[in-house]
Amino acid sequence: MKHTFYKIFGKRFLDIFFSSIMLLVLWPLFLVLAVMVKIDSKGPAIFVQDRLTLNGRVFKMLKFRTMVVNAEHQGTGAYSFGNDPRITRVGGLLRKLSLDELLQLVNIFKGDMSFVGPRPILTYHPCKYEEYTDNEKRVFTVRPGITGWAQVNGRNTVDWVQRFELNEWYVDNVSLWLDLKIVFKTFIQVFSAKETIIQTETATSFKNRKK
């Protein structure tokens, strides 16, 4: 394939290079954000959650906590929605500026994630790994990213079927220029500070998709 070298080696080199620099530069900001989260609400500053990465392997994804403790067992479960009461005051600010995702630089440096790729999927939603079709499993042939093609083309406003289609297209067209385009579009989205609307499609409706 035309961009095989970049997909296998180039992306990983850039991930290590830039994540190491950003971790060295941003660690004071990490401390400030952690203190803000702790002062604002009870619970740990860091939220750890199992997600899927290459070939369906499970890893611990890191984020600054933006919701109350045990939020997954309240309200709508793992996913939030507009004006979700489970989101803390500081958490709302972090989400608006995407600062809660900064800790994933650690995941990138470790090799669990990339800067660009399909967003890491939960181990149980919308399906377990073994329940995805062979075509859908192609999404797991690249490292998940902080941002991705589905993120800049609807983010969580598109349903799961569309999200997989967008991510499958990305896997087939990975290139340096496409990644740069996604990063550029991501910055535009972040600085436009648009409210994220969460798609509330259930796992059941996804499982009823045509295979």
Binning pLDDT at 50, 70 and 90, where does residue 76 land?
Answer: low
What pLDDT is recorded for position 85?
80
Whether residue 84 contacts residue 75, with contact meaning beta carbons closer than 8 Å, is answered with yes
Mean predicted confidence (pLDDT) in 7-22? 95
Q: What is the overall mean pLDDT for the chain?
A: 87
> Among 20-24, 27-31, 204-208, whose mean pLDDT is lowest?
204-208
Q: Does 157 score more than 80 pLDDT? A: no
- Angle among Cα 88, 203, 99 to the nearest 5 degrees reads 30
Summarised one tens digit per residue, pLDDT across range 47-67 is: 999 999 999 999 999 999 998
In this prediction, residue 109 carries a pLDDT of 98
pLDDT at 2: 61
Distances (CA, A) of 52 to 76, 119, 167: 21, 9, 14
Whether residue 182 is predicted with pLDDT greater than 90 in this model: the reply is yes
Q: Is the pLDDT of residue 17 over 60?
A: yes
Q: What order do you get walking across the sheet with 121-122 strand by strand?
A: 58-64, 46-52, 121-122
Higher pLDDT: 204 or 99? It is: 99
3-state helix, strand, coil in the chain (%, to 5): 55, 10, 35
How buried is 135 (Cβ within 10 angstroms: 0-12 exposed, 13-18 middle, 19+ buried)? exposed
CB neighbourhood size of 89 (10 A)? 11
Compute φ and ψ for 59, nearest 5 degrees: -135, 165
Report whether pLDDT(114) > 90: yes
Task: Give the Cα separation of 113 and 61 in Å (integer).
Answer: 9
Confidence of residue 70 (pLDDT cuts 50, 70, 90): confident
Q: Which residue has the higher pLDDT, 98 or 156?
A: 98
198: confidence class by pLDDT, cuts 50, 70, 90: very low
State mean pLDDT over 201-206: 58
Of 142, 121, 185, nearest to 3 by C-alpha is 142
Helix (H, G, I), strand (E, B) or coil at 72: helix
pLDDT of residue 173: 94
Tell which wins on pLDDT, 4 or 180.
180
Task: Go through 141-169 and write b for each residue having 16 or more CB atoms within 10 A of its CB, e for each that does not.
Answer: ebbbbbbbbbbbbebbebbbeebbbbbbe
